[in-house]
A and B are shown apart, each in its own frame.
Chain A
Amino acid sequence: MKDIANLVGMYMKTTAKSWFQYRVDTVLKSLAVFLRESTEIIVIYFTLLKFKELNGWDIYEMLFLYSLIFLTYGIMIIFFTGLRDFGSTVRSGSFDRFLLRPRGELFQIIFVNSDWFAAVGHGSLGVVLFLVSAGRVGISWTPALALYYIFSIAGGVLIQGAVFLFLASLNFFLLETGSLKELLYYNMRRFAGYPISIFHRFIQFLMIYVMPFAFVNYFPAQYFLRKSDINAFPEIFMHITPAVGAVMYLFAYLFWRYSLRFYKSSGN
């Protein structure tokens, strides 16, 4: 156990060192991620200046909803960068190295690399949005609520990690999965910036049962905000984000183990 902690510490230290070796580069790239992601927020901000509210949600409630997306992504990408870039890891032969080493493949994929620019960019945006909105949406924080919030974040991280793990597993069957990830993950994430109650039933179905972003931000946010549109969904949905995350991750892991048997190294 101590030895594993040592190794994780070492991996973290080396990746952070190599990502942060050029100070200006770090600041600029993290800032670029921050600004790129902010554009969506700015669009929403100006829209709501005009309309005041969206299906009963005012600007700060929308920002609170958004902050969950960025916070979970910022934390998630620290651990799951290796899965995001898994296609190129396989093609470059690094995955063969992971297979030959006396450590779990998944352990190595998770800890060998972290996209710190994305983590800092998304994470800081999430923190900013949270700080701006949390005081203005009428939440009276209690220890229980804080605990619920932490568990929801963890659940959101696991849900997105499970999707990345599932998509990475598909690399064993398909040569190129980048566009699938674009379609299934990044495009769906754009929907998640809005309360899902504004969408058509089909989109709602996708957001709850196919790519469950609704559990990453909408349902946890509703637990705090209790907007009236929650009545369209079962009440239990507000409480099960951590469970959804854990179950999805478990299934993604089992699928990963199964797919690994089909792995043929790319050769030279």
Chain B
Amino acid sequence: MICFEKVSKYVLSDVSLYIPKGVCVGLIGPSGAGKTTLIRLACGLLEADNGNVITLGKNPVKHRGHFGSRLSVFMSGVPLLCLDETVKQGFELIKEVYHIPEKNFSKDYSRLADRLGFNGFDSLIVKNLSLGQRMRAELGASLICRPELLLLDEPNIGLDEIGKAVLCELIKECCERGMTVLLTSHDMTEISKACDRLAVLNGGRLLFYGSEEILKSRYVPTDVMTVTLCGSLPDLDDLPLNRYSVEGNTLTLSYNSNYVTAAEIIKLILEQTEISSVDIKKPDLESVCSSLSEHAIIS
């Protein structure tokens, strides 16, 4: 659906990325990594200095404005709804601009308005809405034309936790129906649930492209286990632990899950003493990304 081939533009250098049909890819990375540039290249608002971009089988710059309802783009700097009209009017205009059949439109509109929760304020003028309300309406507007390819730049800005969860569900459902999604975010903890693959950008380079599990296990395979003991301290010298600390009767261990499993550790502790509770923390994406960035700087 989208193919980047050794693309360079502004901060981006030599980025190659292929996104197949029906897949949701999450672009993550710190500010200034080139995420938005990549989105703008994909929809044809920017032209690459080097390399090729192919979107829906076409050159997006030459074909810009001719994708019709096949391509939909959501960007925080590019509002889909006019500020001076009501939400409902804005959707009616989009329907007319994209030739959306009345039957599909009314069905999708009530579904989206219900799911994203803008049916409560769709008779208000857009500029009078709060940021979160406006984002909900804009997200609805980007989905109403049933695109084959959806580009979302920072879609979770201004959304509360429920909003983020709803967005995740909607994206998942759309992908199951064959829609391809490329989204960016610098806060991926919530939104990553909707993504089949992650692409990590930093300093204009693509550091990783693949599933979340592989990313985590390859780059920060450090799990943290907190054990509350009921008896004496166990002797764990034989285990390949990274860190070991004791505070009262709480034992905190960090270990590389590629070398030793949680089950092995717990088994060893239980052989020596009693446990009242165990808590295991898998690495979150934030720490994965920061460690990945450090990796990149070192290598």
Contacts and interface: CB of A to CB of B under 8 A. Distances in A.
15 contacts: A10-B93, A14-B82, A14-B93, A15-B84, A93-B75, A96-B45, A96-B75, A96-B77, A101-B65, A101-B97, A102-B66, A112-B82, A265-B46, A267-B40, A268-B77
Interface string A1-33: 001001100110011011000000000000000
A199 B18 CA distance: 66
A94 B92 CA distance: 18
Interface of B: 36, 40, 43-46, 64-69, 71, 73, 75-80, 82, 84-85, 89, 92-93, 96-99, 125
Contacts of A103: 65, 97
Nearest to B99: A3
A100 B76 contact: no
Interface of A: 3, 6-7, 10-11, 14-15, 17-18, 92-94, 96-97, 99-105, 112, 264-268
Nearest to A21: B125
Contacts of B99: 3
B96 A99 contact: no
Nearest to B64: A99
A268 B46 CA distance: 13
B76 A102 contact: no
B93 A94 contact: no
Nearest to B43: A100
Contacts of B43: 100
A94 B97 contact: no
Contact of B80 (A97, A102, A266): A97
Contacts of A264: 46
B96 A102 contact: no
B78 A10 contact: no
Contacts of A102: 65-69, 97-98
Given A7-B97, A10-B93, A18-B84, 10 more contacts: A10-B92, A10-B96, A11-B93, A93-B78, A96-B45, A96-B75, A101-B97, A264-B46, A265-B45, A268-B76
A265 B77 CA distance: 10
Contacts of B96: 6-7, 10
Nearest to B153: A268
Contact of A268 (B36, B64, B65, B73): B36
